[in-house]
Structure 1
Amino acid sequence: MSSFFTLPSTFSKFQFYPLPFSSSSCSRLPCRGGSNVQHVENHDLHFVLHDALDASGIDTTHAREARQGFCSQIKRLTDIEKETSICINRHVDLGRTALYIAAEDDSLVSHSSVPLPVDAFVGRLDDLSMDYCPHYNPRCDSSPEKFLESIERFLYVHKGFRRTSANLLEPQALYLHSVLTHRSGSPAMLSLIYSEILKMLRLWGLLYFDAEIYFPHDALNVPKGYHKMKSKESDQAHIMTSGNLLVEILNNLKHAFWPFHHDHTKTLFLRAAHAANCVDRSDFVGESGSQIASAKAAQHRLDRGVWTTVRFGDMRRSLSACERLILLTNNANELRDYSVLLYHCGLYKESLQYLTKYQELKNSSIQVMKLSDSKRSMEEDAAVDKLLTRLSLIQLEHGWSRPSVARNFLGNNSDPW
């Protein structure tokens, strides 16, 4: 096994070595499943978040253990499991996996001396299914439709679970332990909770028909169940699979904590590339004063390493979401997005490594090449080329141990949930 990178800037005096629960060990997991992008090989890639935090004096023991738990679950996510509905998934414990995601991020931002009690929240999720039993009336809930109505009445009325009324920047809506506590969550979290109830009822022999959950793609509705035998063809687009659910959870976190929120018409990568001046600024002449001010404010906070509100993002949690998405998916774009965040952290060597890997995969992917004629793709390609050129120049001019700008976004800054 090759040694870890020596990080530049404030981390240059630290040499990193493998730890028992190193995030880099997870990066060698094979990523499988259906994807529209070339397969991502992770054996030669090493993640840097946990090591960088350790170098800045932050203990990442609990974060590493949570990441290892996440890896242990997704190793069971075969091609078939990824395409299996969350209502009948058997091999991957989706609830526990979501709690491992929450446990890692909780450790990253709270620096607590005790880990998030994953087992306790798994027990709370099981208790929720147990609580439904007194509300089940075989005579009144004999038909599949009545049976599902009684579950939804229990979940959304008696227990008071609701879809969050605010946007997805609310951390409480994105983490399972918070949703179980505050009973307000994203559609992905509500779908997960609903599916756990259905799986438990099937285990007890109470669910006697093939039930499915309708995942809403609008901004208002909550997940609801339906009898699959009576489903319409249009319902297929609303079936949530195990693989897609985990990607949805991580993408929600990635979007919520992405440090650049100044232009929601652009992709996450283009927003970060814009902040790094890697895009044609003539394309932004129509920006409003508030958008420009927001971009400047976000960059100012990034330069100072200040994280006091999720409105301006959180580099730690966006990096952790990117790392887990690389482990979980075959989407090479995750390498590109991870790379641009590393660039903003001053980790130029690692940034170039991931961006180069992205370019190799992109150039060998027929599917991506077919999409390259779109305006957005061409803009992203141009930004990637500029970033590659800049990283190469930094390597030639300064060497990796002396970045031109020293930034530390990963210091000891605790944020309230």
Structure 2
Amino acid sequence: MNISFNAALSFCHFPNFSKYPSPSFSLSTRFRVVCRGGFHAPYAASELKLALHDALDSSGIDTTYAREAREGFCSQINKLSNIERETSISINRCVDLGKTALHIAAEDDSLISHSSVPLPVDAFIERLDDLSMGYCPHYNSSLNSSRENFLDSIERYLFDKKGFRRTTVSNQIDPRALYLHSVLTHRSGSAVMLSLIYSEILKMLRLWGLVDFDVEIAFPLDLHGLPRGYQKQKSKESDQPHIMTVQLLLEKILRNLKSAFWPFQHDFSQSLFLRAAHAANCIEQLNSEYSGLQHASAKSAKHRLERGVWTTVCFGDMRRALAACERLILLEMDVNELRDYSILLYHCGLYEQALEYLKLYQEAKSSSLQKPPSNPTSALEDDAVEKLMVRLKLISMEQGLSKLSCIKTFISNNSEPW
């Protein structure tokens, strides 16, 4: 699939996009990938570099605010120790989760908006603090009541008086539900965001000395429930799956964004990677009644990317999908993040970088202490990885193709999206 990085990323309009020089990549981000389950990546941190910001800069798009937001995100996650990653969000003291979520929102906002100013992270931090302060005058009698009544009063304040509600779950979720600043503004969000806000209120009340017992937040595992607080001393073994840790919360925030903005929004029964592999023709069409629909959807996604047209969340957003992948890699989540990032780079025409990350994925997977799953999906994914690897190696052998960055750009023919 030969398309340009410019066209693939240009889900919003930038005049004269094709006049800028081709992307040149500098080592702007260095990190070490550690996968869960005792696995350590077999390469030096200096070998890795992320492509999104450099490529946008070289295409004439100012990423100053996006880089600042990414640095803010990294400054928080760099505080994570192995112990801190497994700490419950209700007792976390090391990482400012509210600020981390707002840095994620600030980067994505700068990637898609025409704003000349950054997202006001500090203003939304103040709004979070005001939300906590607002609890006290209304419910100060509850502070002296039983612990159960105290937690019930927080939930009445948050979900009844303040009107925070959980967004209805669907395949195409409203993106405002996935960003903390939007949830604070519209008071409607995902279960992850509501859990984060609940934990931030508890954090402030604990700092003020109003909470003198261990509180756990039960994360809802169904599609409609709300996060609820309970005393840790009274917890049962069955409560363990509901505990939201710092690592799990950040993972869910980023994977929700990655899924929502993945550019191949078809066949939700398949993994994100397999959807992208369908579009790249890296796997055989399935012999099922849905194969025709899958093929048509994949062709439609390819056509949109080639034209660089404006799309809605229903059709994904390449920039924000790439940003989510990069942050998941920085968070040291899962070896599969390297694979998913690679296929997005492939669809952007960044074959050299795609090949680098696919090789890293294969090396990391072979070094993993975990036994690879044996199921039809993993077999399809492994086959698609092999075909993608062969294709990238063939491309790299073609003189000049490995450095190709601009094959054809249609963006200058497109009108503003609004």
Partner AA of 1:299 in structure 2 = K
- Could you say which residue in structure 2 is the equivalent of 1:136? 139
> For 1:239-259, what per-residue CA distance to the aligned partner results, in whole angstroms no more than 9, with x for missing partners?
011111111100000000001
List gaps (5 residues or longer) in structure 1.
1-6, 19-23
Task: Judge which range, 153-162 or 305-314, deviates more.
Answer: 305-314
Q: Which consecutive residues of structure 2, in runs of 5 or more, have no partner in the other structure?
A: 8-17
Matched-pair identity in %: 62
Preserved CA contact (<8 Å) 1:253 1:321: yes
**Shift in alpha-carbon separation, 1:17–1:191, aligned structure 2, 3 A:** same
Instruction: Provide, for residues 259-304 of structure 1, a one-character-per-residue CA deviation record: whole Å limited to 9, x for no partner.
Output: 11111111111110111000121x2532166544433322211111
Alpha-carbon contact 1:50-1:60 (below 8 Å) kept: yes
In the other structure, the counterpart of 1:333 is: 336
1:245 — aligned with what?
249
The residue that corresponds to 1:21 in the other structure is none
Give 1:204's aligned amino acid.
Answer: W
Label 1:387 to 1:220 Cα distance change in 2 as closer, same or farther (>3 A).
same
Letter of the 2:150 counterpart: F
> Hey, what's the Cα distance between the residues in 2 that align with 1:409 and 1:66?
30
Scaled by the length of structure 2, what TM-score is found? 0.89
Name the counterpart of 2:221: 217
Q: CA deviation at 1:162?
A: 0.3
CA distance in 1, matches of 2:77, 2:32: 10
Q: Distance in 2 between matches of 1:195 and 1:173?
A: 17
**Preserved CA contact (<8 Å) 2:139 2:153:** yes
Q: Matches of residues 9-408 of structure 1 in structure 2 within 5 Å?
A: 13-14=21-22, 16=24, 18=26, 24-26=27-29, 28-31=30-33, 34-35=36-37, 38-39=40-41, 42-138=45-141, 142-167=145-170, 169-281=173-285, 283-287=286-290, 290-367=293-370, 370-401=371-402, 403=404, 406=407
Distance 1:36 1:277 in 2: 34
Supply the distance in 2 between the matched residues of 1:139 and 1:309 (Cα, whole angstroms): 45
Distance 2:332 2:175 in 1: 23
1:91, distance to aligned residue in structure 2 (A): 1.1
Query: How far, CA to CA, are the matches of 1:330 and 1:39 in structure 2?
Result: 12
SS at structure 1 position matched to 2:301: helix
Q: Is the 8 A contact 1:214 1:224 kept in 2?
A: yes
The Cα shift of 1:413 comes to 9.2
Amino acid at match of 1:132: Y
The one-letter code matched in structure 1 to 2:178 is L
Deviates more, 1:34-43 or 1:260-269: 34-43
Q: Which amino acid letter does the alignment assign opposite residue 238 of structure 1? A: H
1:163-189 Cα shifts (integer Å, max 9, x gaps): 002536311000000000000001110
Q: 1:234 corresponds to which letter in structure 2?
A: S
Deviation of 1:112 after TM superposition, in Å, equals 1.4
| Contact map agreement 1:152 1:224 (CA 8 A) in 2 | yes
* Letter of the structure 2 residue corresponding to residue 94 of structure 1: L
1:3 matched residue in structure 2: none
Amino acid at match of 1:123: E
Secondary structure in structure 1 of the residue aligned to 2:209: coil
**CA, structure 1 residues 289+357, in 2 after alignment: closer, same or farther (shift >3 Å)?**
closer
Three-state SS of the structure 2 residue aligned to 1:213 is: strand
- For 1:4, the equivalent position in structure 2 comes to none
The amino acid of 2:236's aligned partner reads: K
Query: Quick one: distance in 2 between partners of 1:84 and 1:33?
Result: 18
Residue 142 of structure 2 contacts residue 150 of structure 2 at CA under 8 Å; is this kept in 1? no
Q: Relative to structure 2, which stretch is displaced further, 105-114 or 130-139?
A: 130-139
Q: RMSD value over aligned CA atoms?
A: 2.6
Kept in 2: contact 1:316–1:410 (CA 8 A): no
CA distance in 1, matches of 2:340, 2:329: 10
Report the Cα distance in structure 2 between the residues aligned to 1:320 and 1:208, rounded to whole angstroms: 39
User: Which whole-Å CA distance do the structure 1 matches of 2:351 and 2:415 have between them?
Assistant: 23
Give the AA of the match of 2:93.
R
Distance between the aligned counterparts of 1:271 and 1:78, measured in 2? Answer: 34
Secondary structure (helix, strand or coil) at the match of 1:138 reads helix
CA distance in 2, matches of 1:297, 1:139: 56
